[in-house]
Chains A and B, each alone.
Chain A
Amino acid sequence: MTTEDCKKAVLDIIADIAPDEDLSNVKSDVRLRDQLQLDSMDFLDIVMELRKRHGIEVPEADYLRLASLDSCAEYLTPKFNALSAKS
């Protein structure tokens, strides 16, 4: 999986949990919270959906690494790849 695929996977989740947000112009390097109306409940859902859909665990101490799409990609891409290597 590339970092772009990873960003898309995160955006797909956000599109489902916050269908009232416009995701067409989300900037990769800006905190999601600063460009979208997402609160801590929504971030919990991103984490829960990552586990449910992709089997990826994000411990609470690492939640901050989901701040922007870039940081998500940096943090999650190796996890995605480690999982696909296993299967």
Chain B
Amino acid sequence: MNSGSKYDVAIIGAGLSGLAAGIRLAHFGKRVCIFERHNAVGGLNGFYSIGGRKYDVGLHAVTNYVPPGVKGTPLGKILRQLRIDREEFQLCPQKGSRVSFGPAGERTLRFTNDVAVLESEVDRLFGSQVDGFRRLADAVRAVPLSGDAALGSARAFVGTFIGDPVLVNMLLCPLMFYGSAREDDMDAGQFAIMFRALYLEGFARPLEGVRVMMRVLLEKFRQAGGERRMKCGVRELRVEGGRVTGLVLDSGEEVAADQVLSTIGLAETGALRGIPPDSRPRLGYVETISVLNRQPSELGWGEDTIVFFNEGERFEYRNPSGQVDTRSGIICFPNNFEYGEGRLLPEGVFRVTCLAGYGAWVGLPEERYRSDKLRVFDEVQNSALRFLPAPPEPGALAAATVATDMFTPTTVERYTGHLRGAIYGSPVKCPDGRTELSNLFLCGTDQGMLGIVGAMLSGISIANQHILRS
């Protein structure tokens, strides 16, 4: 080994979990360095600029939002643990969201950051099921926040409270879309985390997007004395005697660390030791982004923050064999949060996300990839438009659109390193963060906590449990 650096803890990946873990460790005196291959922080929740416009990568909404004064919630925990003042994140609550099923969204359940709204919607649409819904909500409240309770299948769990299969599917759809790495079902423990995050708590967003939160985390990390090396990926872990003994960087430089926290995923971390990836299905997404020269409200789309749509009665959540599955998806209008009087995003933004098959995108010749993207862009957007009020005149959306962008599973893989562009990672999670190496721990996507708040909580709890406590 050359004379390189020696750290108490090396963290692989400067996403939310890595930064949160880094803040904890640096705050308590550990010599910690975060290694990030990309030139920007944020990982799956980063941001980028094209043509002078700033885009969020993953963020539709911050889940787990609770208003000031509500205690004992994941948001409160991360604020305390990271010594962040609530106001610093500048979170503004959503207007309202909905789940819409049927060819044109004939069955709609609205929900807001007040669960009473969803409860009354269940009562309106499914009458007799509302008691079951209340019991389900109580059962979720009783699940510990750590989320490692082994509860089995979410469909089976929900089925013990709710008899109507359409309602089961409508409740599961947003939760799966916002976090399930498993096809057609989710782990019941993760279901409880997501039910709490979306329905019992809710959605919020800073006016300027996720970069507001990233700035806060970066500043905390810097103040605590943490080091960060960008464009500096880790390409290999040296292992001896059941321990990581060194990290080989992309440049060939070697660094040593007593402990290693990897945020890059289970299979992705294994690959650093030469372990071939598993062949379990991974779920990829495409997202279309249309930038508009007016607020969505001027097209009649001012009320919805997020719309989860599905054309059938049963929601199928699988890796598509083709390029995209437009039968279901997510619409997001980042404009439609309560930013306060006179505070508006400078432009309108209309985003639509659908499941996408990585296998049908990877390896395409450049020209074909580009033309397929254009075609799929229209398919995705047209599918979503079925679930929105018709604009004031035909062609209004096209006339208002001033820029577009789109990502596919291969884009996600290229920029985040997540195998097959799977934004929720491996279907198998590692809740205690342990690996078979005694000084290597996992946090982030494959530890199993979800969303922006969940990612930070993951980094915090793994750092606490395995590094600060011992």
Residues in A with CB closer than 8 Å to B68 are: 20
Select A41's contact among B28, B83, B86, B464, beta carbons within 8 Å.
Answer: B464
Report Cα–Cα, A17/B468, bound state, in Å: 16
Q: Give the interface size bracket for A toward B.
A: 10 to 19
Given A41-B81, A52-B28, A20-B468 contact (CB < 8 Å): no
Q: For window 1-37 of chain A, which residues contact chain B by CB distance below 8 Å?
A: 16-20, 37
B77 near A17 (CB under 8 angstroms)? no
B77 near A41 (CB under 8 angstroms)? yes
B81 near A60 (CB under 8 angstroms)? no
Report Cα–Cα, A65/B169, bound state, in Å: 49
A60 near B469 (CB under 8 angstroms)? yes
A20, A37, A42, A52, most chain B CB atoms within 10 A: A20
B28, B69, B461, most chain A CB atoms within 10 A: B28
B71 near A45 (CB under 8 angstroms)? no
Select B464's contact among A16, A20, A44, A51, beta carbons within 8 Å.
Answer: A44
Given A37-B71, A44-B469, A52-B29, A20-B76 contact (CB < 8 Å): yes
A19 near B464 (CB under 8 angstroms)? no
Residues in A with CB closer than 8 Å to B379 are: none
Report Cα–Cα, A66/B69, bound state, in Å: 26
* Chain A minimum-CB-distance residue to B77: A41
| Chain B contact residue count (CB 8 A cutoff) | 20
Given A37-B72, A48-B468, A52-B28, A16-B83 contact (CB < 8 Å): yes
Report Cα–Cα, A19/B79, bound state, in Å: 10
Residues in B with CB closer than 8 Å to A18 are: 80
Q: For window 69-111 of chain B, which residues contact chain A by CB distance below 8 Å?
A: 69, 71-72, 76-77, 79-81, 83, 85-86
Q: For window 40-84 of chain A, which residues contact chain B by CB distance below 8 Å?
A: 41-42, 44-45, 48, 51-52, 60
* Chain A minimum-CB-distance residue to B76: A20
Report Cα–Cα, A42/B469, bound state, in Å: 13
Select B81's contact among A20, A37, A45, A52, beta carbons within 8 Å.
Answer: A45
Residues in A with CB closer than 8 Å to B28 are: 48, 51-52
* Chain B minimum-CB-distance residue to A45: B81
Q: For window 430-469 of chain B, which residues contact chain A by CB distance below 8 Å?
A: 460-461, 464, 468-469
Please give the distance in Å from A46's CB to the nearest CB on chain B. Answer: 12
Q: For window 38-81 of chain B, which residues contact chain A by CB distance below 8 Å?
A: 68-69, 71-72, 76-77, 79-81
Could you tell me the dominant secondary structure of chain B's interface residues?
A: helix
A20 near B71 (CB under 8 angstroms)? yes
Report Cα–Cα, A18/B82, bound state, in Å: 11
Residues in B with CB closer than 8 Å to A16 are: 83
Report Cα–Cα, A1/B400, bound state, in Å: 70
* Chain A minimum-CB-distance residue to B86: A20
Report Cα–Cα, A51/B30, bound state, in Å: 13
B85 near A19 (CB under 8 angstroms)? yes
Residues in A with CB closer than 8 Å to B81 are: 41, 45
Report Cα–Cα, A64/B458, bound state, in Å: 26
* Chain B minimum-CB-distance residue to A18: B80
A17 near B469 (CB under 8 angstroms)? no
Report Cα–Cα, A16/B79, bound state, in Å: 11
B464 near A17 (CB under 8 angstroms)? no
Report Cα–Cα, A84/B364, bound state, in Å: 70
Residues in A with CB closer than 8 Å to B77 are: 39, 41
Residues in B with CB closer than 8 Å to A37 are: 71-72
Report Cα–Cα, A19/B83, bound state, in Å: 9
Residues in B with CB closer than 8 Å to A19 are: 80, 85
Please give the distance in Å from A51's CB to the nearest CB on chain B. Answer: 8
Please give the distance in Å from B462's CB to the nearest CB on chain A. Answer: 12
Residues in B with CB closer than 8 Å to A44 are: 464, 468-469
* Chain B minimum-CB-distance residue to A49: B28
Given A19-B85, A37-B72, A42-B464 contact (CB < 8 Å): no
Residues in B with CB closer than 8 Å to A52 are: 27-29
Please give the distance in Å from B88's CB to the nearest CB on chain A. Answer: 12
Please give the distance in Å from A43's CB to the nearest CB on chain B. Answer: 11
Select B80's contact among A42, A48, A51, beta carbons within 8 Å.
Answer: A42
Please give the distance in Å from B242's CB to the nearest CB on chain A. Answer: 24
Report Cα–Cα, A57/B278, bound state, in Å: 44
Report Cα–Cα, A39/B468, bound state, in Å: 16
Given A41-B77, A48-B468, A52-B29, A17-B71 contact (CB < 8 Å): no
Please give the distance in Å from A53's CB to the nearest CB on chain B. Answer: 11
Can you give 15 contacting A-B residue pairs, CB < 8 Å? A17-B83, A19-B80, A20-B68, A20-B80, A37-B72, A41-B77, A41-B81, A41-B464, A42-B80, A44-B469, A45-B81, A48-B28, A48-B468, A51-B28, A52-B27
Closest 7 CB pairs of A and B: A37-B71, A48-B28, A37-B72, A18-B80, A44-B464, A17-B80, A52-B28
Known contacts A16-B83, A20-B71, A20-B86, then 14 further A-B pairs from the complex at CB < 8 Å, ordered by chain A residue:
A17-B80, A18-B80, A19-B80, A19-B85, A39-B72, A41-B80, A41-B81, A41-B464, A42-B80, A44-B464, A44-B469, A48-B28, A52-B27, A60-B469
